[in-house]
């Protein structure tokens, strides 16, 4: 092993966290983004790589239940935290969550590049506000850009998911 590689290995950090409910422990480099950790180490490629500057929202995940941009979050800063990715939204029975189902039913997806971030933002919104106004929905998804500009369908899908969740009680 070259000296440089040895130094890099010595500088690694032991990351312990939970991802989609499962305990996870990995040696990582301190500069690794949470996005790279999820995609490259854990192969959770549903979290998309877009602008890499915190603007587009394609890389959105939840950290302890709050949406966060994984491209601008260092993996080393999520020690002992709970991370939820798009892969973790479906139920234990494998069924789509109400929000996922509503996006499917209401054509909330076009190319679907923005979908993971939109779904997580909508999930957080409906957890905190079961009956959001259209303005509430637009504010909640404001950090997520849809490059197909399919916002009308996305807002309709979030409204439909809210109705389903309320009727389920
Ligand atoms: Fe993270 Fe765009 S890839 S916000």
Tokens at residue 81, please? 């935290």
Tokens at residue 61, please? 């995940």
The answer to whether residues 75 and 14 belong to one domain is: yes
Hey, what long-range contacts does 126-133 have (CB within 8 A, 24 or more apart)?
Answer: 126/98, 126/99, 126/158, 126/161, 126/162, 126/165, 127/65, 130/162, 130/165, 130/166, 131/162, 131/166, 132/158, 132/159, 132/162
Instruction: Classify residue 41 by burial, with Cβ atoms within 10 Å: 0-12, 13-18, 19+.
Output: middle
Domain count, the chain: 2
Asked if 145 and 59 count as a contact pair (C-beta separation under 8 A), the reply is: no
> What is the pLDDT tens value at each position of the chain, 169 positions in all?
445 655 555 689 999 999 999 999 999 999 999 999 999 999 999 999 999 999 999 999 999 999 999 999 999 999 999 999 999 999 889 999 999 999 999 999 999 999 999 999 999 999 999 999 999 999 999 999 999 999 999 999 999 999 999 998 7
The answer to whether residues 34 and 106 belong to one domain is: no
52 lines ligand 1 (CB under 6 A): yes
Hey, what long-range contacts does 48-54 have (CB within 8 A, 24 or more apart)?
Answer: 48/113, 48/114, 48/116, 48/117, 50/113, 50/145
Query: Closest Cα partner for 46 from 31, 58, 54?
Result: 58
Residue to mutate (ligand 1; options 58, 67, 117; most atoms within 8 A of CB): 58
The answer to whether residues 135 and 163 belong to one domain is: yes
Q: Is residue 54 part of a domain?
A: yes
The answer to whether residues 149 and 125 belong to one domain is: yes
The answer to whether residues 65 and 34 belong to one domain is: yes
The answer to whether residues 161 and 103 belong to one domain is: yes
The answer to whether residues 17 and 80 belong to one domain is: yes
What CATH number is associated with residue 27? 3.10.20.30
What is the extent of the structural domain holding 29?
3-87
The answer to whether residues 13 and 59 belong to one domain is: yes
The pLDDT of residue 92: 85
Q: Name the residue at shortest CA distance from atom 4 of ligand 1.
A: 54
């Amino acid at each position: 092993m070259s000296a440089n590689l040895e130094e890099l290995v010595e500088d690694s950090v032991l990351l312990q966290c939970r991802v989609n409910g499962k305990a996870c422990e990995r040696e990582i480099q301190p500069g690794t983004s949470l996005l790279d950790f999820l995609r490259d180490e854990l192969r959770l490629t549903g979290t998309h790589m877009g602008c890499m500057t915190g603007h587009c929202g394609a890389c959105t995940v939840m950290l302890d239940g709050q949406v966060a941009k994984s491209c601008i979050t260092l993996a080393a800063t999520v020690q002992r935290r709970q991370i939820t990715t798009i892969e973790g939204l479906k139920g234990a029975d494998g069924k789509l969550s109400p929000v996922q189902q509503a996006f499917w039913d209401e054509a909330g997806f076009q190319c679907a590049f923005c979908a993971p971030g939109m779904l997580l933002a909508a999930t957080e919104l409906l957890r905190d506000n079961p009956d959001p106004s259209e303005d509430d929905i637009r504010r909640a998804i404001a950090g997520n850009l849809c490059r197909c500009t399919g916002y009308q369908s996305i807002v309709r899908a979030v409204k439909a998911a809210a109705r389903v969740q309320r009727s389920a009680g």
